[in-house]
Structure 1
Amino acid sequence: MKERNFLTIKTNGISLRTVVEGQGPLVILLHGWPQCWYLWRYQIDPLVQAGFQVAVPDQRGYGGSDAPEQINAYDIIHLTGDVVGIADALGHTTFTVVGHDWGAAVAWNTALLYEERVNAVVGMSVPYFRYPVGALTNQNNFGENFWYIVYFQKPGVAEAEFEADIRRSLRIIYASVSGSAPEGIFFKPKPSTSGFLDGLIDPEQLVKGVTQEDLDYYVEQYKRSGFRGGLNWYRNIDRNIEITPELRDKKISQPALFIAGEKDLVLKFPGVNLGEMSELVPNLQGQVIIPGAGHWVSAEYPEAVNEALLGFLKDFSSQR
């Protein structure tokens, strides 16, 4: 693995282990679950070579960053405040934010809550949407079927399942939502009493975008942090809506780009309609759907992601 320049950035009352490379306009890359800064290993150098400074944190609860005990410490106000604090620490008044999975949700909301600070936003995998309270967390909405977000709500349950064998858990999660996974495997119905990993695939061969070295690194990070911090993000889904009523009808005004894998399971979520995205993000410059890619699009097809990302950022930066 290439050696990286890690800084400990104190922001918003916590410390975030952050890769900081390059000079120029700031681009902050935000990972999701269950990841860490390493998700962006193929994007850092191309962005630096294109003339940007790149900051890639382990977000709160992950890897080498602090993991507060309180569940409410992982709400969207804290998470977006962390992002702005990174820019402050590096001396940037404005910045571009790029996020994948939960990182995309943080990126979209940072653009909304700090409109004067964010000059452009890129979301990967998760488009901008705003569900009603309870839509994703109430078992009644899913009948007798398992729904992972409901399963994640009770502290300690998912942690125990995943931490029983961290290597196996990560291997299964990465495989089951990749572009290599059988169609529909993640959403295959199972009883609400099931565990998350029940019925998912554990292939003999690692899938595209995950080498043995990659898996070893992730296992090392999760042995360090555990899963509690990342799962607490899910336990704030309803709270995030409740504490930001001012965002109910607000639109994302900045230049924006959306990137996803053709086989990404998030695109099949109830209520997700990419055709409606331009209504919420009127300055959306494009939607790039990468053939063959699953959820881990930046690692599965890094060349395609980098081409789309750099094209957007270069066009945008040349217009500033």
Structure 2
Amino acid sequence: MELTTAFASRRVCVNGITLNVIDEGQGEPVLLLHGFPDTHAIWRHQIPALVKAGYRVIAPDLRGCGQSDIPRSKWSYRLTNLVADVAALLDALELRQVRLVGHDWGAVISWAFVLRHPERVACYVALSVGHPTCYARAGLLQKLKGYYTLVFQLPWLPEWLLKLGNFKGLALLGGSPQEMPQWRKALSEPGRLTAGINYYRANPDLLLPVNRGDALVPVYGVWSTDDHFLVESQMTRSQRYCKRGWSYTRLDNVGHWMTVEAPEAVNALLLSYLERHVPSSTY
């Protein structure tokens, strides 16, 4: 498994920090947002396919991740700051509107961005994680699958557990031997693991079952049957909050990290959906 990617990157100042941003190709922009414990490398199979299809692909390392800056305060990782990073990134790249794709925490951020800035999103592809209201209201099984979100609220102990035995704790939690070389390399850098866990520590209110509003852009949800962290209903029930169109696909026998476990299937779904949704602005 490769530990690096050969994509062109640039440093972009946004919202008081500097992000490492992959910026490949020309054409209409597609923004890819990764989750935890990933970096932009989780998109290594999608970036070439999208570029080949004629898109400009933008894939940042989110704050605290990959080669981006690491704010030290856990409150720097509040969802409002993460959404502001995305808006500032589009401003810095002079992009009024993008096709948006998010996975895991990247999907959480993308949902929040869609709810706050619908005019900046032509369409949104949510991988694994459904509408935040549906996640919070998904019931007991989802709470059991997401037990780690409560453990992550504790100080220092989550870091110790995940690093135990050269990150064997993370290997057990993540369940993806394929991605462990990427994770171990990225999270061995001082401060990176705490930054990732701070996404959870700074946002416990996401577990509150409140109505967070409607998505006023077309949304495509993709969930995989072997996802050990998320139940299907938190994705399928998202339809009721998507007022400008909803599509859904279930990937059978695929785990949570679908972009690397089933890249050809994910690429086909992305390309088919994105080409049907033309942005309302020019670039």
Normalised by the shorter chain, which TM-score bucket?
0.7 to 0.9
Normalising to structure 1: TM-score of the pair? 0.77
How high is the sequence identity, in percent, across the aligned residues? Answer: 29
Partner of 2:181: 216
Residue 287 (structure 1) aligned with residue 253 (structure 2): no
Distance 1:241 1:275, change over 3 A: closer
| Letter aligned with residue 308 of structure 1 | L
User: CA contact under 8 A between 1:166 and 1:223: conserved in structure 2?
Assistant: no
**What is the distance in 1 between the residues matched to 2:221 and 2:229?**
13
Residue 297 (structure 1) aligned with residue 238 (structure 2): no
**What is the distance in 2 between the residues matched to 1:279 and 1:289?**
18
Cα-to-partner distance string for 1:256-292 (whole Å, 9 max, x where unaligned): 11112112124338xx444422111133431111111
Partner of 1:230: 196
Partner of 1:156: 156
User: CA contact under 8 A between 1:75 and 1:240: conserved in structure 2?
Assistant: no
Cα-to-partner distance string for 1:40-73 (whole Å, 9 max, x where unaligned): 1110011111111111111111121111111111
Distance 1:307 1:171, change over 3 A: same
Tell which structure's C-alpha radius of gyration is larger: 1
Residue 109 (structure 1) aligned with residue 70 (structure 2): no
Partner of 1:198: none
Partner of 1:309: 270
| Letter aligned with residue 15 of structure 1 | T
Task: Give me the CA root mean square deviation.
Answer: 2.8
Gaps of at least 5 residues in structure 2 are none
**What is the distance in 1 between the residues matched to 2:223 and 2:146?**
25
**What is the distance in 2 between the residues matched to 1:241 and 1:78?**
18
Partner of 1:67: 70
Partner of 1:194: none
Pairwise CA distance, 1:23: 1.0
Query: Among residues 42, 45, 48, which one is paired with 1:42 in the alignment?
Result: 45
Partner of 1:257: 220
Q: How does 1:1-320 map to 2 (within 5 A)?
A: 1=2, 2-130=5-133, 147-175=147-175, 206=177, 210=178, 215-224=180-189, 225-239=191-205, 248=211, 250-268=213-231, 272-317=233-278
**What is the distance in 1 between the residues matched to 2:118 and 2:166?**
39
Cα-to-partner distance string for 1:21-55 (whole Å, 9 max, x where unaligned): 01112111111111111111110011111111111
Normalising to structure 2: TM-score of the pair? 0.87
**What is the distance in 1 between the residues matched to 2:65 and 2:146?**
26
Q: Name the count of aligned residue pairs.
A: 273
**What is the distance in 1 between the residues matched to 2:129 and 2:166?**
25
User: CA contact under 8 A between 2:101 and 2:124: conserved in structure 1?
Assistant: yes
Cα-to-partner distance string for 1:66-108 (whole Å, 9 max, x where unaligned): 1111111101111011112221222211112211111101011
Cα-to-partner distance string for 1:164-214 (whole Å, 9 max, x where unaligned): 444424433332xx5xxxxxxxxxxxxxxxxxxxxxxxxxxx4xxx1xxx5
User: CA contact under 8 A between 1:163 and 1:226: conserved in structure 2?
Assistant: no
**What is the distance in 2 between the residues matched to 1:69 and 1:130?**
29
Pairwise CA distance, 1:298: 0.9
Distance 1:248 1:174, change over 3 A: closer
Distance 1:11 1:101, change over 3 A: same
User: CA contact under 8 A between 1:260 and 1:289: conserved in structure 2?
Assistant: yes
Pairwise CA distance, 1:132: 9.9
Pairwise CA distance, 1:313: 0.4
